C-alpha cells in the first residue's frame, strides 16, 4: 500500500513545531532566589511554571530600581537599552502590586499570576530561554488551570 505524502496537511507539523511558551500564560511560582549580578548588584530571580504551556519554565529577574530622583536626574544620559530595562522593571513591579498585591520580595512558591513571555536573543545553536516580560491582569492568560486561583469560580464542579 502506497500513500501519497503530498496529501497530508502540514498544519499538524507546524502546530507541533510552534513554541507554545511564548505569549500570554498563567504562571505559578516554582522558586524565588535572592541573588546578585556579577557586578554585585542585588536581584531576585523568580522561576515560574507556565501552567498553560505544559508547565514549561520561564524566568523573571527583578533588580533593585534606582530611586525616582536618580531616574529624573540621569536618565537622559542612559543608553536606550538601560532605559528600556528600567522602564520594564517599573511596569512589572507596578502590575504585580496593582493586580496581585505582591512585590518581588513577597512572592512565594505556589503564588499564581498571568504573564506575557518572550524569548531571549537566540544563541548560535538556535536555542534561547523564555523570560517573563510583563505581568498581566488576572484572566488575561489564554487559559487557566482547573483548581488554580485563576480558574473560573462560577463552574460548580
- Asked whether 92 and 114 are in contact (CB, 8 A), the reply is no
Cell numbers describing residue 35: 541573588
In a domain, 5, yes or no: no
pLDDT of residue 92: 94
Q: What is the pLDDT along the chain (157 residues), one digit of tens a residue?
A: 557 777 777 766 665 555 677 889 999 999 999 999 888 888 999 999 999 988 999 999 998 899 999 999 999 999 998 898 889 899 999 999 999 999 999 999 999 999 999 887 766 777 778 899 999 999 888 655 444 444 444 434 3
In a domain, 69, yes or no: yes
- Number of domains forming the structure of the chain: 1
In a domain, 2, yes or no: no
In a domain, 48, yes or no: yes
How far apart CA 132 and CA 148 sit, in angstroms, is 19
- Asked whether 83 and 58 are in contact (CB, 8 A), the reply is no
State the DSSP code for 89.
H
Q: Assign residue 120 the CATH number of its domain.
A: 2.40.50
Which residue segment(s) compose the domain that 119 sits in? 22-136
Q: Which of 129, 127, 133 is nearest to 61 (CA)?
A: 133
pTM higher than the cut 0.95: no
Amino acid at each position: 500500500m502506497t500513500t501519497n505524502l503530498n496529501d497530508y496537511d502540514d498544519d499538524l507539523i507546524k502546530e507541533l513545531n510552534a513554541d507554545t511558551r511564548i505569549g500570554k500564560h498563567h504562571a505559578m511560582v516554582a522558586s524565588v532566589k535572592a541573588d546578585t549580578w556579577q557586578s554585585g548588584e542585588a536581584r531576585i530571580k523568580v522561576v515560574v511554571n507556565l501552567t498553560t504551556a505544559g508547565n514549561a519554565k520561564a524566568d523573571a529577574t527583578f533588580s533593585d530600581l534606582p530611586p525616582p530622583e536618580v531616574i529624573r536626574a540621569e536618565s537622559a544620559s542612559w543608553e536606550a537599552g538601560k532605559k528600556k530595562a528600567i522602564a520594564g522593571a517599573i511596569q512589572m513591579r507596578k502590575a504585580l502590586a496593582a493586580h496581585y498585591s505582591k512585590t518581588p520580595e513577597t512572592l512565594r512558591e505556589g503564588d499564581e499570576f498571568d504573564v506575557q513571555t518572550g524569548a531571549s536573543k537566540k544563541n548560535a545553536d538556535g536555542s534561547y530561554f523564555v523570560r517573563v516580560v510583563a505581568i498581566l491582569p488576572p484572566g488575561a492568560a489564554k487559559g487557566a488551570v482547573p483548581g488554580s486561583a485563576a480558574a473560573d469560580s462560577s463552574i460548580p464542579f
